[in-house]
Amino acid sequence: MTKLPNSDATQDSAVGDASWLVKIVIRCHLLSQVVIHAILFTLSLLLAFLIRFDATAAAGGSTSHEWAGRFWACLPFFLVVKLLIFGKMRLFRGGWRYASIRDVTNILLGSWWFVLTGFVMWMLFYHLPQGMVRTVPFLGAYFGSFPRSVLVLDFLGTVFLVSTVRLGFRLYREELRPVAADSLRRVLLIGAGDAAEAIIREIHRMRIERYRVAGMVDDDPAKRKIMIHGISVLGGTKDIREICEENDVEEIIVAMPSASRKELKEVIDLCSGTKLQFQSLPGVADLIDGRVTVSQIRPVDINDLLGRDVVQLDDEAIERFLTGRRILITGAGGSIGSEMCRQVCHYRPAELILLEQAETPLFDIDNELRANFPDIKISARICDIYDRNRVMKLWAEHSPEVVIHAAAHKHVPLMEHNPCEAVKNNIMGSRNVADASCQYGTDEFVMISTDKAVNPSSVMGASKRVAEIYTQALNGHVDCKTQFKAVRFGNVLGSNGSVIPTFRKQIAAGGPVCVTHPKMTRYFMTIPEASRLVLQAAATGAGGQIFLLDMGESVKIVDLARQMITLSGFRPGEDIEIKFIGVRPGEKLYEELRTDAEDIEPTVHPKVNVWKSHQAQWIWVEEAIEKLSVLENCPDRQPVVDLLCELIPEYEPLNPPKKESPSPVRS
């Protein structure tokens, strides 16, 4: 039988061969560095003797034959000691293409150490007894052959030659090497501070060159006309458009890590109508420290303009709320639900139970959490919350202590056409998980609600309001110890099916970008911010409360569309058309949050408020839910809408969908 080779042994052999090859390359590199420095040290000493004894000869002193003998006598000492000092300081390991002021400083320091060593040796020589000098004859050859001024001249020559060669190599690589101009994109930097300096320096040292910096702009008057690494400040931000046209700029890199979102918006607006592409640098500290490079500069995203400052949380309260407890999250595969899972895992729950109807999103979030949080027990369960028996069995199996209810149908126009599904999922599904929480002793129940539940104009908003009413009425009910809370907020940036991903697809397809109405506005919040504030509200609030998150200022959707088109390097209205398609069924022009009304109270957190709503009587709520349950699968929209109007007096349906005409029957 033929014996197969041991694959592990073969692999070890290959690794061993590779390591020897690496060692040989490193040694060759070090050897070449030593040889080059030895040549430079020799030239430096030669220059020192030439200058010193040329001046002496001019004064009628020694001839060239005299100093040549002294030079050869001193050279071995100079070479050996310098090479030892420079080697000890690891100056042979530096990459010349990255030569910097620090390298020059180290060369100065190494040269000073040699001067000090040489001077000490010279002083010792002249103070040694004559008998010892005779016993060691080479001492006289080395230290009796040169005057002290040679040490100073050699110091200057060493610093000059070694620094010049290193910096010259870098200068050639960065400035003098021929590069095809057509391959470079001309960029303009916004800002002329430390971040801009780091970017320019990094661009100059890039081997695969991508950019040529045309200039910088900065609104600081003190920085006008200054130059950084040969690049000039050409004006202020108000001059961007003209500067870009005059210098054929193709891209803009925002080099202002501290710039506010308002300032970024102003820059984007100034460049609207151009074909400029916008790039943003990573954190300047990371760039300067070398943890990231210019090759990782990313396009400016609309989230950079709409996102807000990092939310400061009461971590101690949230830890008490989550740490060591069994947490169940419904809708765990959705945009908000999946982020809630990530946030919760940071607080080390005893177990995290993921409930989701859709198989693939549940699979994805389950794998992600297991990879990132291997120490946390995670249970993934497929479940339709409308299935009451399945819900009850899962609650009995896991006995969750905290439930975060994020599962819901959220798309307004779809729910207008499918109102019975909104009733089944948003109302009956919420009832099922709320009842299960009561029955199996859940301590805390947090429902994710929406600003569309305020004076609802859509079936989706009305269904979420009914769910709020039900959970509020259940709070404090007989034999129910669960504390029920609801948290309202507006749109979240980048959630599945929301306006921003939709606009991105439309821009990528060449347009048009479809906007419902020129005056339509919406509130926006990032998914992580919304998730953190939900945890904050849940951890510090009391049962029966409805919390409202501070959504900041509303944004006009048409302005959002223009900014996204501009950021993509297109011109709104020319390259990409903006098309107004009319307000869709159930939509308002302006969403309401009621954050400044008389019935709103602040909480311990500045971005969380409480709405002082009146709790409905349990008997009335039970009757309302029973009426709705009859219409769960009603094929007609109107009975569902009529009953919702009866239950929620402030519900005023807007833009009801037109009845679809039946498809023609073919013979």
Three state DSSP letters for 533-593: HHHHHHHHCCCCCEEEECCCCCEEHHHHHHHHHHHCCCCECCCECEEECCCCCCCCCCCCC
Encoding tokens for residue 608?
Answer: 């969380």
Residue 128 one-letter amino acid: L
pLDDT of residue 66: 62
CA distances (Å), origin 148, targets 46, 131, 537, 653:
15, 23, 78, 98
Residue (of 255, 289, 265, 258) closest to 187 by Cα position: 255
Report yes or no: 408 and 449 within 8 Å, Cβ to Cβ.
no
Encoding tokens for residue 274?
Answer: 């151009």
pLDDT of residue 234: 87
pLDDT of residue 667: 31
Q: Tell me, yes or no, if the two domains 181-300 and 315-491+525-551+592-647 fold the same way.
A: yes
* From 82, 410, 424, 452, the catalytic residue: 452
pLDDT of residue 464: 94
Q: Round to whole Å and give the CA distance between 533 and 540.
A: 11
Encoding tokens for residue 269?
Answer: 């607006």
Domain ranges of the chain: 25-176, 181-300, 315-491+525-551+592-647
Q: Round to whole Å and give the CA distance between 321 and 403.
A: 11
Report yes or no: 582 and 658 within 8 Å, Cβ to Cβ.
no
DSSP classification of residue 79:
H
Looking at domain 315-491+525-551+592-647, its CATH superfamily turns out to be NAD(P)-binding Rossmann-like Domain (3.40.50.720)
Q: Round to whole Å and give the CA distance between 139 and 358.
A: 87
pLDDT of residue 664: 43
Report yes or no: 458 and 452 within 8 Å, Cβ to Cβ.
yes
pTM (2 decimals)?
Answer: 0.67
Mean of per-residue pLDDT scores for the chain: 78
Residue 183 one-letter amino acid: S
Mean pLDDT by 10 residues, the chain (667 residues): 48 49 58 79 83 60 61 79 80 63 77 80 63 50 62 82 76 57 74 80 64 84 80 85 85 75 78 76 50 58 65 80 94 91 93 94 95 94 95 95 93 90 93 94 92 89 92 84 88 75 86 88 82 86 83 83 83 85 83 62 76 78 86 84 89 75 40
- Give, in degrees to the nearest 5, the angle at Cα 255 between 254 and 259: 80
Peptide bond into 512 cis (omega under 30): yes
Report yes or no: 482 and 444 within 8 Å, Cβ to Cβ.
yes
Is residue 88 annotated as part of the catalytic site, yes or no?
no
Encoding tokens for residue 71?
Answer: 């030079």
* 181-300 belongs to CATH 3.30.300.30: no
Torsion on CA atoms 253, 259, 260, 262, rounded to nearest 10: -50
